Amino acid sequence: MDKLKQLHKTLVNNKFINYTVVFFIFIILFLLINSGVINRYLSNLIIMILIMIVMATSLNIATGFLGQLHLGHAAFMGIGAYTAGIIGIALQDVIASDLLLFLVATFGAMITAGFAGFLVGTPALRLRGDYLGIMTLGFGEIVRTVITNLKSITNGAQGLSGIPRIMTFPIAFWTTVIVVTLIFLFMNSRHGRAIISIREDEIASESVGINITRYKLLGFILASMFAGVGGSMFAFKESFLAPISFNFIKSVEIFVIVVLGGMGSLSGSIIAAIVLVFLPEYLRDFNQYRYLLYSSVLIIIMLYRPQGLMGTKEINFIKIKTWIKSKYTKVFLKGSD
């Protein structure tokens, strides 16, 4: 009983610490942005990182936890972005509050992207491995072509403009926090464990009574819905959408973040998103060499750490705390010797 209480205490403590750290990061960044220490360019970059975090963690459901090769994630982002953009343009005079407008549009984006995920997922998840990857790639290209050609709704290749630019740092930050928390809680629930078991061994998990098709579809739809959220954030940040933003290269970019961070590690995705969005900007000094360096870094990391930066591990602030504590006590004990 005592042990149970201890466990309960650690768990509560653990959550508390994680939330505190998130809150502190927010306060610090918010103050820095408001006081002008972080300029407009940098704060835009931070919002872009937050969008990529949403995209990468959502793709992590399908690729990392479910173990499926998914090369068309940008298409779902595009569907979400266009839905949110069109809703945003239509309702900007009706809804006065920016936050409410964003929430309504995001809800719409989640529905359309999730529905697209359902439509693609139902037939696609019968396929395995590379074939699924090829199919999602093909679907992504189809979505791009459809968006380009549906001129009456999306304004074709010229792009959809006039979306209200309402994405501020606090909205982006808390949306990201909510999405990542939801994904984390889902993955640690019963359903999440069922999904992870499918990744580990499909046949074995089927034999213990897990409905593989249902859980695969569930994972796929969830990934698409959260991609819709990322798309909505993107639409309200850029205020302009073009089909070229959601092509195969974009899907690959998101996919690279997931694999580089470690498939099945949400904190890995977050770190990799930060690194990979910052890296090309940071390398601006090298000008024309920067994408050469970027791709070399990619290859070198994969050669020497094929499981990604984090593997399947997560960063946990409680662990860091106990680690610091143990180190401290060690020093303390040595001192008392």
CB of 292 to other proteins, least distance (A): 5
**Site for other proteins contains 213 (CB under 8 A):** no
Q: Residue count at the site for other proteins (CB under 8 A)? A: 42
Single out the residue of 52, 107, 65 nearest to residue 232, CA to CA.
Answer: 107
Cβ atoms of 139 and 72 within 8 Å: the answer is: yes
Which residue matches tokens 């403009």? 161
Residue 148-167 contact track with other proteins, rule CB under 8 A, x = bound: xx------------------
**Site for other proteins contains 129 (CB under 8 A):** yes
**Site for other proteins contains 296 (CB under 8 A):** yes
CB of 264 to other proteins, least distance (A): 12
Among residues 194, 259, 276, 277, which is the contact residue for other proteins, using CB under 8 A? 259
18/122 with CB nearer other proteins: 122
List CB contacts of 72: < 8 A, sequence separation 6 or more: 120, 136, 137, 138, 139, 140, 141, 143, 248, 251
Polymer length of the chain? 337
Residue 59-98 contact track with other proteins, rule CB under 8 A, x = bound: ----x-----x-----------------------------
**Site for other proteins contains 318 (CB under 8 A):** no
The three-class DSSP label of residue 162 is: coil
Among residues 240, 248, 278, 317, which is the contact residue for other proteins, using CB under 8 A? 248
Among residues 111, 182, 302, 315, which is the contact residue for other proteins, using CB under 8 A? 302
Token pair recorded at residue 168: 């501020």
Q: Which stretch binds other proteins (CB under 8 A): 30-38, 235-243, 276-284, 288-296?
A: 288-296
69/270 with CB nearer other proteins: 69
Among residues 252, 275, 315, 318, which is the contact residue for other proteins, using CB under 8 A? 252
Residues 3-62 contacting other proteins, CB under 8 A: none
Buried/exposed 36-73: b ≥16 CB within 10 Å, e otherwise: eebeeeebeebbbbbbbbbbbbbbbbbbbbbbbbbbbb
Measured between its terminal Cα atoms, the distance across the chain in Å is 36
Among residues 12, 292, 324, 331, which is the contact residue for other proteins, using CB under 8 A? 292
SS (H, E, C) 216-273: HHHHHHHHHHHHHHHHHHHHHHHCEECHHHHCHHHHHHHHHHHHHHCCCCHHHHHHHH
**Site for other proteins contains 298 (CB under 8 A):** yes
Cβ atoms of 231 and 110 within 8 Å: the answer is: no
**Site for other proteins contains 256 (CB under 8 A):** yes
Residue 168-207 contact track with other proteins, rule CB under 8 A, x = bound: -----------------------------------x----
Cβ atoms of 66 and 220 within 8 Å: the answer is: yes
**Per DSSP, what are the bridge partners of residue 240?**
161
Among residues 26, 240, 294, 317, which is the contact residue for other proteins, using CB under 8 A? 294
H/E stretch holding 129 reads helix 129-149
Backbone angles phi, psi at 241, to 5 degrees: -125, 135
Q: Which stretch binds other proteins (CB under 8 A): 165-173, 278-286, 301-309, 317-325?
A: 301-309
**Site for other proteins contains 135 (CB under 8 A):** yes
SS (H, E, C) 20-35: HHHHHHHHHHHHHHHC
Binding site for other proteins (CB under 8 A): 63, 69, 123, 126-127, 129-131, 133-135, 137-139, 141-142, 144-146, 148-149, 203, 248, 252, 255-256, 259-260, 263, 288-289, 291-292, 294-296, 298-299, 302-303, 306-307
